[in-house]
């Protein structure tokens, strides 16, 4: 069923359009002066000085989780690269010196210019090695090559930026649970 909206017919003052034009200019000037004299009442955020609150569930830049000894948690299984619809993840595997781990990534790159931030790489990872919870949404670089995040940039994050309830983040070097996680990691024998 089609819904019809009956419009009120215009009177002769509204049909002249000159008064409507002045009414529109008055509205524009009202908003302009409001922003000029009462800036704090505007519904905007002055971005560089004040950043908006971003929830940890927002899919932002990637990070690689670290083991208690500081090595990347990734086991180079290529599941994230296979799940990526944009094919922006490139991994090269190398054998690990640690007997408990078969492979480790010698090269791990994510091209943020190609990435669609769908989160499928996070869902596909069997060891929870990659996350998108950095809340970092600023992508300003001077060259295209700077948009490619490599293994070093993906592992440079501070555990203090994350919740104390996040055990994997706090078990990384610099976290509050690193010492006890490192002791249990050294005792674990396969």
Distance from chain centroid for Cα 30: 37
pLDDT digits (tens, 9 = 90+) for 43-74: 777 777 888 888 888 999 999 999 998 999 99
pLDDT at 114: 94
Report CA-CA distances (Å) from 6 to 3, 9: 10, 9
Percent of the chain residues past pLDDT 70, beyond the cut? 98
Tens of pLDDT, residue by residue over 146-164, are 999 999 999 999 998 888 8
pLDDT for residue 127: 93
End-to-end Cα distance, the chain = 69
The pTM (predicted TM-score) of the whole model is: 0.72
Q: How confident is the model at residue 145 (pLDDT cuts 50, 70, 90)?
A: very high
What is the per-residue burial (b if ≥16 Cβ within 10 Å, else e) of 140-179? eeeeeeeebbebebbbebebeebeeebebbbbbeebebbe
Q: How far is CA 112 from the centre of its chain?
A: 11
Say what percent of the chain tops pLDDT 90. Answer: 47
In angstroms, what CA-CA distances link 77 with 101, 128, 186?
11, 12, 23
Asked whether the predicted pLDDT for residue 102 surpasses 80, the reply is yes
Q: Which residue has the higher pLDDT, 181 or 39?
A: 181
- Residue 187 has a pLDDT of 73
pLDDT tens digits, residue range 77-91? Answer: 999 999 999 999 999
pLDDT at 91: 95
pLDDT at 98: 83
Q: Does domain 63-180 sit in CATH 3.10.20.70?
A: no
Closest CA to 61 of 165, 143, 161, 174: 161
Q: Determine the pLDDT at residue 189.
A: 58
What pLDDT shows up at residue 53?
A: 84
Interval 21-28 mean pLDDT: 93
Q: For the chain, what is the mean pLDDT? A: 89
């Amino acid at each position: 069923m089609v819904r019809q909206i009956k419009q009120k017919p215009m009177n002769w003052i509204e049909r002249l359009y000159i008064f409507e034009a002045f009414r529109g200019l008055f509205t524009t000037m009202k908003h302009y002066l409001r922003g000029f004299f009462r800036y704090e009442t505007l519904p905007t955020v002055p971005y560089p000085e004040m950043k908006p609150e971003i929830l940890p569930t927002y899919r932002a830049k990637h990070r690689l989780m670290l083991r208690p000894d500081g090595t990347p948690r990734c086991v180079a299984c290529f599941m994230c690269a296979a799940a990526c619809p944009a094919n922006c993840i490139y991994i090269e595997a190398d054998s690990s010196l640690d007997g408990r781990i078969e492979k480790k990534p010698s090269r791990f790159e994510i091209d943020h210019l190609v990435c669609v931030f769908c989160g499928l790489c996070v869902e596909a990872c069997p060891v929870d090695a990659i996350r998108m919870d950095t809340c970092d949404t600023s992508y300003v670089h001077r060259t295209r090559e700077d948009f490619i995040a490599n293994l070093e940039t993906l592992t440079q994050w501070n555990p203090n930026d994350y919740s104390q309830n996040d055990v994997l983040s706090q078990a990384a070097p610099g976290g509050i649970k690193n010492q006890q996680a490192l002791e249990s990691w050294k005792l674990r024998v396969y």
